[in-house]
Chain A
Amino acid sequence: MNPLPLVAVAGSPNAGKSALFNALTGARQKVGNYPGVTVERHSGRLTLADGRPVELVDLPGAYSLEPASPDEAVTRDVLLGKQQGERQPDALVIVLDASNLDNHLRFALQLIELGLPTVVALNMVDLARRDGLELDSQILSKKLGVPVVETVAVRRRGIAELQSALDDMLSAPVCGVQERAKTDLIHLQRRAREIATAAVVSETPVRRWTHRLDSILLHPVLGPVILAVIMFVMFQAVFAWSETPVSWIEEGVASLGAAASNALPSGHLRSLVVDGAIAGVGAVVTFLPQILILFFFILLLEGTGYMVRAAFLMDRLMHGVGLSGRAFIPLLSSFACAVPGIMATRTIDDPKDRLTTILIAPLMTCSARLPVYTLIIAAFIPNTRLSWGVGLQGVVMFGLYITGILGALLAALVLRRGVLKGSGSGFMMELPKYQWPPLKDVALGILQRVEIFLKRAGTIILGTTVILWALASFPQAKPGESQIEASIAGKIASGIEVVVKPIGFNRDISLALLPAMAAREVAVSAIATVYSIDSSDEQAATLKLEDRLKGRWSLATALAFLAWFVFAPQCISTIAVTRRETNGWKWPLFMVSYLFVLAYAAAGATYWTAVALGL
């Protein structure tokens, strides 16, 4: 069978490439990986006017065919037909930022020289116009020798025209790809500038929107204040907005459990379904709203162009601990999940910079810690309103995030002085224009995350909760004996308990630590499972998990548990992705050991301080 024609979407970063790709393919996308390298491959399908399907692939953004990062190397190799696991594209869509032609045209000229059938999408013409720049796409097309279509990908404008240009192109006979002519960079740049100048119809100097916004958002005093406020609002929102949907999900899970209890005969099967599967997965799914809100903010910050400004503001501080502002984005993403965060470090060119960022990424409070934090905070921290509508619970949560950040900075400093000594490569980044991202794209991004999260809940988390249920249910306790003490889990926990007792951890925590290695949020479902098996009387079973915790843990223990979770590398996925990104076991093992040592020390210090203070 003939494979579908492959069309590659190429362009410089910030040209609106992904928005255009989304506009062309809609939600029908596949996210994979190029073999051998850690670069994501986004592909999708497009149907031409005559019904022929075409495969579209979104190449990583690049400034030229001379790669400066692994991402750019993939772009070059795909275009030259040298990328393993990818056939050479049959046609190209080059995406250009209309207001940045003199720079983007250089890459476009290199791409056109390849000799593939090509169409140029002159993107973001609306932003160019907003800045007083009128372009003539006819002239541009004549100069470049390829069709040029004006588009505004985020508003889905010009997409139909682009499709019909693709139509024409893929119907025409294809000549062979030319051996790449080596036009030197300086010559290309000069030609790019000439063409860009020729294509300008008129240019009215206006005070640019982006510049005006930057005067406020990058202001030496206001800028950091606004950044702190945005982050604070983000984390307060994660708490406040999720309250109602969380209660709906809790009710849903409770009634599902009740229905299953009634439907199934009493015995092991009922216990497995109700106490194992429904209680375990239910406890984790409850935190879906918070994860959604966090991703909503992160995608919005990224889409508007603010994320890079945050990197700009933070660069000097990051530099102080041996990192670059570029690390800020992967680290900020790690607040959602360290796995995509660690994957995002691929944009950092310097290997030592990158490795340091990977090693400290797990210290950013990921969303999987939220269930644990939420549970403990709800149980032990009173919901007191401080002034200005700020709640004490939110402040404690904020404090945990700050502790993680400070820990990460300190770790980076030590790593950069020790095992990863050496100078960083610095910070060079384009500051793109501000724009409002299409909510459709944000929604698509959120949906892709939800899918990943639910798949995890459905597989790893379900698996581990069922295993834990089995470990906690067998062998069965004799009358008068506590089930949890008699079980296999009880025996394993006894071993762990010896080690964690000095830092104030009790038996329940020892029981939760092992399954929490699969994913941090499992700690919550593990505790939930343990308590629903252990509570023999009906009244206790109807108590909320928080209320049950209150009776069994001291405040010092609860605080030590929180401190533990700030640092502990309780996540197999993170370890696995670190192994993959660093190509070996050396660094993941290093990461796990140093984080466990930190976690143990922090929990111990917290516990004994709290005990000394009489809490």
Chain B
Amino acid sequence: MNAPFQPDVTSLDRLKVGTKASIASVDWASLEESEACRLRHFGFDEGVTVEPLHLGPFGRDPIAVRVGRMTVAIRRRHAGAIHVQPIQ
């Protein structure tokens, strides 16, 4: 897997609000099984387009992310496990 070595690949928690990005890879191993399962249920997967929409008022956590046609709130920690490539 060479995705993490591309220069513009970042993690979802570092993506600016309103920036669309494509999921390059998800570090499933760093997540607990139930967390990984939920993320998959919400449609987080490689190649899917995501866009952070809103940040929580305290510590900018959680993050409301658009994934597909859904808006899902996830914590910063989980967003960190999702590597994305911004779409120009």
A→B interface (CB under 8 Å): 63-64, 66, 68, 99-103, 185-186, 189, 193, 210-211, 214-215, 218-221, 223-224, 308, 311-313, 315-317, 319-320, 325, 349, 425-431
Contacts and interface: CB of A to CB of B under 8 A. Distances in A.
10 contacts: A100-B68, A102-B68, A103-B42, A186-B45, A315-B61, A349-B38, A428-B42, A428-B74, A429-B72, A431-B72
Contacts of A313: 56-57
Interface majority SS on B: helix, strand, loop or mixed? mixed
A429 B54 contact: no
Given A219-B57, A325-B73, 16 more contacts: A63-B38, A100-B69, A103-B69, A211-B71, A214-B53, A214-B54, A221-B57, A312-B73, A313-B56, A315-B56, A325-B62, A349-B38, A426-B75, A427-B75, A430-B70, A431-B72
B43 A315 contact: no
A315 to B, nearest CB: 5
A428 B64 contact: no
A210 B71 contact: yes
B53 A223 contact: no
Contact of B38 (A68, A100, A185, A193): A68
B20 interface: no
Given A214-B64, A315-B62, A426-B77, A101 B69 contact: yes
Contact of A426 (B35, B43, B60): B35
Of the listed residues B45, B55, B68, B69, the one surrounded by the most CB atoms of chain A closer than 10 A to its CB is B69
B69 A425 contact: no
Interface in B31-49: 32, 34-35, 37-43, 45
Nearest to A317: B58
Contacts of A426: 35, 74-75, 77-78
A319 B58 CA distance: 10
B41 A64 contact: yes
A425 B42 CA distance: 16
Contacts of B54: 214-215, 218, 312
A63 B41 contact: yes
B70 to A, nearest CB: 5
Interface majority SS on A: helix, strand, loop or mixed? helix
Nearest to A190: B45
Contacts of A210: 71
Contact of A99 (B59, B60, B69): B69
Contacts of B59: 316
Contacts of A308: 73
A67 to B, nearest CB: 9
Nearest to B61: A316
Contacts of B61: 315-316, 319
A223 B38 contact: no
Contacts, number: 106
Nearest to B66: A211
Contacts of B41: 63-64, 68
A189 B58 CA distance: 34
Of the listed residues A185, A218, A311, A428, the one surrounded by the most CB atoms of chain B closer than 10 A to its CB is A428
A375 B62 CA distance: 41
Range of interface residues on chain B?
A: 20 to 34
A63 B58 CA distance: 29
Contact of B39 (A312, A317, A428): A428
A316 B71 contact: no
Q: 9 nearest interchain CB pairs?
A: A316-B58, A63-B41, A218-B54, A220-B57, A431-B71, A428-B38, A102-B68, A426-B75, A429-B73
A316 B43 contact: no
A99 B45 CA distance: 19
A315 B73 contact: yes
Contact of A102 (B43, B55, B74): B43
Given A315-B56, A315-B61, A427 B73 contact: yes
A433 to B, nearest CB: 8
Contacts of A218: 54, 64
Nearest to A133: B69
Nearest to A63: B41
B53 A211 contact: yes
Nearest to A320: B58
B34 to A, nearest CB: 6
Given A313-B56, A319-B61, A428 B43 contact: no
Contacts of B45: 186, 189
Contact of B43 (A103, A320, A325): A103
Contacts of B77: 426
A17 to B, nearest CB: 16
A189 B67 CA distance: 13
Of the listed residues B45, B62, B77, the one surrounded by the most CB atoms of chain A closer than 10 A to its CB is B62
Contact of A316 (B32, B35, B57): B57
Nearest to B54: A218
A220 B62 CA distance: 11
B57 A102 contact: no
A151 B13 CA distance: 37
A223 B41 CA distance: 28
A219 B60 CA distance: 11
Given A103-B43, A431-B73, A425 B37 contact: no
Nearest to B65: A431
A404 to B, nearest CB: 21
Contacts of B58: 316-317, 320
A103 B44 CA distance: 10
A220 B35 CA distance: 26
A68 B38 CA distance: 7
A200 to B, nearest CB: 10
A99 B70 CA distance: 8
Interface string B8-52: 000000000000000000000000101101111111010000000
A224 B57 contact: yes
Nearest to A14: B70
Of the listed residues A210, A315, A426, the one surrounded by the most CB atoms of chain B closer than 10 A to its CB is A426
A103 B70 contact: yes
